[in-house]
Amino acid sequence: MRLSTYNFLTSKAIKGVKDGYPLKLTIVKKDIVESEFNPTFIGRLLPRLDWLGIRLAAEILELSDIPPKQPANIAEDEELLKKLHHLLLEIDVLEGQLECPETGRVFPITDGIPNMLLNEDEV
């Protein structure tokens, strides 16, 4: 699971959950998969991302060079765009879990795939 995907996941479908975001991410095994940097792609992806999710992922991975708030001139900061590219597109979570912040419901990540399926009584 790439961390760009993590930024969009929520447990809002669970009965009684109001927001379900951000999910608590625990990484057991990860891999780095290098890919070509495309500043245009990252620039177009940014408006769709939640900066809180980006910061949480960066903190989990101990990447302290991601600023606490999204800079206004982010599209002009190529170094920051490269760091975001690495964080969002090159780090692949292979094993771990996601936890709902409201219910504590755990969703496992196995072979890079988060299992977000709910039981009948949770819907």
pLDDT tens digits, one per residue of 15-45:
999 999 999 999 999 999 999 999 999 999 9
Helix (H, G, I), strand (E, B) or coil at 110: strand
What pLDDT shows up at residue 50?
93
Walk me through the domains of the chain, giving residue ranges and CATH numbers: 3-112 (2.20.25.10)
Give me the sign of the Cα torsion angle 105, 5, 80, 53. Answer: negative
Q: Is the pLDDT of residue 99 over 90?
A: yes
User: How confident is the model at residue 23, as a pLDDT?
Assistant: 95
**Which pLDDT does position 64 carry in this prediction?**
85
Nearest residue to 89 via CA among 27, 29, 12, 5: 5
pLDDT tens readout for residues 42-95? 999 999 999 999 999 999 999 888 999 999 999 899 999 999 999 999 999 999
Question: Can you read off the two tokens belonging to residue 52?
Answer: 């809180």
Average pLDDT estimate for 3-13: 94
Q: What is the pLDDT of residue 32?
A: 97
